[in-house]
């Protein structure tokens, strides 16, 4: 059965700390892995990763994928209170034909950044 | 470009009633996916519509149905509501070209409370 597992489930840090969030997956016919940030409402897109070893970076956030070990990490450096959110990982798998394409979501990591 | 819009934003219904939720995708996007989000279950995929056809379906009972119109707007219907249907319903749109993973952009969601 396809699954996406995120760890830790929740995390509390102080401003300025660096955090690493993990996403491991077992998905048939992997196509891509995505990271989203969800605050109070809809998730907002962060990164899409398709190739191993290529770091994607946006400001203080960065992410990398390891397709051999089937996991991705999301790093946040110099955390700020505005980084407090649930971080969601999703993996697309399945073939493109018919009704086999699917997006499997992890439960998310809840990050709280205290001042 | 305007983002994904969903109406209504909040809804209170009683058990046994039915509800229809609406989603307007980003202009030019032809794929609309629906998700249910509850605290314990994370994001659960309901179904995806592309060009007025259901292209993918998750593991939800037949009480959950949807459709897509020629302008790509989509509606989701839940009949015979149960208490467990209380959740945030998110709609996401993407180009839907099928050539690979496109980023899904989420609407603000409709929060449904079933009493």
Give the pLDDT of chain B (115 residues) as one tens digit per residue: 678 899 999 999 999 999 999 999 999 999 999 999 887 666 788 988 999 999 878 889 999 999 999 999 999 999 999 999 999 999 988 887 654 445 677 888 999 999 9
Q: Which residues of A touch B98 (CB under 8 A)?
A: 96, 101
d(CA A85, CA A115): 15
Mean pLDDT of chain A: 89
Say yes or no for a CB contact (<8 Å) between A44 and B57. Answer: no
Give the nearest partner residue to A45 out of B35, B88, B103, using CB atoms.
Answer: B103
Q: Which residues of B touch A45 (CB under 8 A)?
A: 103-105
Task: Identify the pLDDT of residue B58.
Answer: 81
pLDDT tens sequence across A59-68 = 999 999 999 9
Other beta carbons within 10 angstroms of residue B64's beta carbon come to 18
Quote the tokens at residue A69: 């070990």
The length of chain A in residues reads: 115
The answer to whether the beta carbons of residues B21 and B110 sit under 8 Å apart is: yes
Looking at the complex, report in whole angstroms how far the Cα of residue B22 sits from the nearest Cα belonging to chain A: 15
Between these two residues, B115 and A44, which has the higher pLDDT value? B115
Please give the full DSSP string across chain A, using - where no structure is assigned.
Answer: --EEEEE-SEEEEETT--EEEEEEEE-TT--EEEEEEESSSS-EEEEEE-STTPPEEETTEEEEEETTTTEEEEEE-S--GGG-EEEEEEEEES-SSTT--EEEE---EEEEEE-
Give the nearest partner residue to B105 out of A45, A100, A104, using CB atoms.
Answer: A45
Q: Which of A27, A103, A105 to mutate to test the interface with B (most CBs of B within 10 A)?
A: A103
Quote the tokens at residue B21: 């939720």
Smallest CA-to-CA distance from B93 within B21, B27, B37 is with: B27
Classify burial at A88, counting beta carbons within 10 Å of its beta carbon; exposed 0-12, middle 13-18, buried 19 or more: buried
Q: Which of residues 21-60 of A touch B (CB under 8 A)?
A: 31-32, 34, 36, 41-45, 48, 50
pLDDT band at A35 (very low <50, low <70, confident <90, very high): very high
Pairing of strands A3-7, A19-26: antiparallel
d(CA A16, CA A79): 5
Quote the tokens at residue B99: 């050539």
Give the nearest partner residue to B100 out of A31, A43, A44, using CB atoms.
Answer: A31
d(CA A13, CA A11): 7
């Amino acid at each position: 059965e396809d699954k996406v597992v995120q760890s830790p489930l929740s995390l509390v840090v102080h401003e300025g700390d660096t955090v690493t969030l993990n996403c491991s997956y077992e998905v048939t016919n992997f196509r891509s892995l995505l990271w989203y940030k969800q605050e109070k409402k809809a998730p907002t897109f962060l990164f899409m990763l398709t190739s191993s070893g290529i770091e994607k970076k946006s400001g203080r956030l960065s992410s990398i994928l390891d397709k051999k070990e089937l996991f991705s990490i999301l790093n946040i450096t110099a955390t700020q209170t505005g980084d407090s959110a649930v971080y969601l990982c999703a993996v697309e798998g399945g073939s493109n034909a018919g009704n086999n394409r699917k997006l499997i979501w992890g439960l998310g990591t809840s990050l709280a950044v205290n001042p | 470009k305007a983002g994904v819009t969903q109406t209504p934003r909040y809804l209170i219904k009683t058990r046994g009633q039915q509800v229809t939720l609406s989603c307007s995708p980003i202009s030019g996007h032809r794929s609309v996916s629906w998700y249910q989000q509850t605290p314990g279950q994370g994001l659960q995929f309901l179904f995806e519509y592309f060009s007025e056809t259901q292209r993918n379906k998750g593991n939800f009972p037949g009480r959950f149905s949807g459709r897509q119109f020629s302008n790509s707007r989509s509606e989701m219907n839940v009949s015979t509501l149960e208490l467990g249907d209380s959740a945030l319903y998110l709609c996401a749109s993407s180009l839907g070209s099928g050539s690979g993973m496109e980023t899904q952009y989420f609407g603000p969601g409709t929060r449904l409370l079933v009493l």
